[in-house]
Amino acid sequence: MALKRIEVVPFTYRWSGEGSITEELFPDTFKLEKLEKLVGQTLTRRRIRFESPLDKGKEAEYTMVLKCKQDGMVRSLNLF
């Protein structure tokens, strides 16, 4: 059975350093949902939920910003 709508997009990342991570998703009309970690994996798992499901052939754009604060310095990674 083919999907007719997309409601969510999975998103995973792995930070191998120390420090705390801050996540930001733009536009803020989309929601970033946490998913449980899988046993034996170090990936951080998230799900991006659109404000309304996308019909087949439609597009949505978002930007995910990850910031790591380590030793008083902030490092940023923008994902488009």
Specify the pLDDT at position 14.
84
pLDDT recorded at residue 38: 86
Q: What does the pLDDT read at residue 79? A: 61
C-alpha distances in Å from residue 75, one per residue of 21, 31, 32, 79? 10, 23, 21, 13
How confident is the model at residue 40, as a pLDDT? 85
The whole-number pLDDT of residue 33 equals 96
Tens digits of per-residue pLDDT, 27-42?
999 999 999 988 888 8
Please state, as a whole number, how many other Cβ atoms lie within 10 Å of the Cβ of residue 80: 8
Bridging pattern class, strands 73-79 and 20-26: unpaired
From the list 40, 45, 56, 38, the residue with the least C-alpha distance to 9 is 45
What per-residue confidence (pLDDT) applies to 75? 66
pLDDT at 1 over 60: no
